[in-house]
Each structure stands twice: as structure tokens, then as C-alpha cells.
Amino acid sequence: MRSARRLRFLILPALVLAPASFAQTSSTVAIPNFNFEPGNTARWTGTGELGFAAARGNSTSENANAKLRVAYEDRDWRHEFNLTGLRASSEVNIGTDEEPERVRETTANRYQVGASSAIKYNEVSYWKSSLRHEHDDFAAYRWQSTFAVAYGRVLMRDDAGRFLALEAGPGYRRARDVEEEETENGPIARGYVDFRYPLTDNTSLINTLLVESGQDNTFAQNDLGLQVTMTERMALKAGFQARHNTDVQDGRENTDRLTTVNLVYDFE
């Protein structure tokens, strides 16, 4: 169940971090400030994403996904809150040709909330505490809740908009098995990677990787996105998300994948 090949999708950050020869340009994606210069002022930043699709005719279906991130940062602290949701449903025929009957079935229902606070230690280092809770009706685990503390370090940040930060630390997880309805508890090791790279004046590559590894299960989520700015506030973003649990029940997939095209609003 814990075979290494089931974590193949974790090579995505390696591909993202591969050497590139792009010209330096201005970033189109808000990045953490981590500015310790005298007179640095506090600021609010935030982004919202929304994607929706509906089909009518021979098939009837709807699916929607949304994301919200709000952060407050001053000279010494950075606080962040995020919320994501995914829901899809469709009508299926359970009757016969003589007596057709269509019913609506939910095919995806997931939400995730998270919050964190980071205190800055110096120009490139910080200590961070984070909370995360997710609920998924169609995953191996009905819900998972984690708390972790971590040491973070900014390895790259420049005026061109390039940014790379790494975090690592211990934590604790509670999770509910979807079939056996048993609650698992135990310590975890948490790692997080945040990488942003401007490709052109209005296009940025974004990749985040979260890993929570414990004795019962290792959860990993990688989000890769290509964002194209249309106006000062609006952008389009194509994203690919891969979520992996090493321990799942028989008949369930270890990895869930989601491809999205969303409208992004920046309310910095």
C-alpha cells in the first residue's frame, strides 16, 4: 500500500523547479512580503477563484469549484485563511426504455478549510503554526484534521517575482476511515513547498506541494497552475491537482486528479 510508485505524481515540483531560461519579468502573483525594512506597512491580500460547467440535452450535469485565500501581513507576522470547495452532480437513467426514470446523483463533494500564523524570525526565516480540515464524501477518508508547527525558510525572492519557500515540522492528525468508520490518531511530519515563477509580463507558473506523513497514512497534495493576468484584478488560471493517500480500502484509487480552468479575482 505504501509503494513508492504510488507517489509518482510528486515529481511535478521537480519538473517545475527544473532550470529554465526565461527572462526576468514582473510577477503577476502576490507573494509573501517578508520585508523587514524600517517603515514596512501592514497589508491585506487575497484571491478568489471560481470555475463552473453545466451540460444540458442528452446529458444533464453541473460541476463547480471555488477557492478563497485571505492573508494579513505586517512587519512581524503573517496570518492566512483559505477555503476550497468542489461539487459535481449529474442525472442518470435508472429506468427502462418503456419506463424511463432519471435521478440526480452527487459525484463529487469536497471542502477544505485551513488557517495559519507565522512569526518572522529574520529576513528569510519564520516559525509557523497551521490548521487544516477537509471533508470528502468520495475519498478514502471521510475527513482529516491536522495541526502542525514548522520552521520555514525563504530560499528565493527577487524583484522579478520569483519565489521559493520551504517548511518542515511535526504535527498531529485525526482522520475517519470512510468504510470502517474508525478514527485514526497519531503524530505526523509535515512538509510544504511554495514556488512561483513569472514566465512573461502577464503569465506566472505556480506550484505548491503539501505532504503529511504518519504511521497510518501519508497524504500528499500537489497543485500546479498557470495563471494569465487579463486586467489589474482579473486573471485566468489553468490548474492540475493531484491528491494521494498511501493507505486506501480495496477497490479505491490511491490518487485523485482534478483539472480546472478558473476565473481569478485579486482583491489586494
pLDDT in tens, 93-128: 776 666 667 788 888 999 999 999 999 988 889 999
Q: Where are the beta strands (DSSP E) in 94-124?
A: 102-120
Q: For position 25, what pLDDT does the model report?
A: 36
Q: How far apart are CA 133 and CA 23, in angstroms?
A: 39
The DSSP letter of residue 162 is -
pLDDT digits (tens, 9 = 90+) for 74-83: 888 999 999 9
Q: Structure pTM?
A: 0.82
C-alpha cell at 122: 529574520
Answer yes or no: is pLDDT of 18 > 70. no
DSSP string computed for 203-264: EEEEEEEEEEEESS-EEEEEEEEEEEE-SSSEEEEEEEEEEEESS--TTS-SEEEEEEEEEE
Lowest mean pLDDT among 3-7, 36-40, 173-177: 3-7
Q: For position 26, what pLDDT does the model report?
A: 40
Decide if 92 contacts 63 (C-beta within 8 A). no
Q: For position 31, what pLDDT does the model report?
A: 52
Cβ density class 201-222: b for 16+ within 10 Å, e for less: eebbbbbbbbbbbbeebbbbbb
Lowest mean pLDDT among 28-37, 201-210, 248-257: 28-37
pLDDT confidence band for 249 (50 / 70 / 90):
confident
Q: For position 195, what pLDDT does the model report?
A: 95
Answer yes or no: is pLDDT of 2 > 60. no
Place of cell 479505491: 252
Q: For position 37, what pLDDT does the model report?
A: 44
**Comparing C-alpha atoms, which of 245, 162, 263 is closest to residue 206?**
162
Residues 6+ apart with CB under 8 A from 101: 93, 94, 95
Q: For position 193, what pLDDT does the model report?
A: 96
Residues 6+ apart with CB under 8 A from 218: 2, 7, 211, 212, 244, 245, 246, 247
Q: How far apart are CA 178 and CA 79, in angstroms?
A: 32
Q: For position 130, what pLDDT does the model report?
A: 97
CATH architecture assigned to 4-266: Beta Barrel (2.40)
**Comparing C-alpha atoms, which of 241, 262, 8 is closest to residue 112?**
241
Q: What are phi and psi of 8, to 5 degrees?
A: -60, -30
- Average pLDDT, rounded, for the chain: 83
Q: How far apart are CA 172 and CA 124, in angstroms?
A: 26
pLDDT digits (tens, 9 = 90+) for 29-76: 545 555 444 445 678 889 999 999 888 877 788 999 999 999 998 888
**Comparing C-alpha atoms, which of 171, 167, 184, 166 is closest to residue 246?**
184
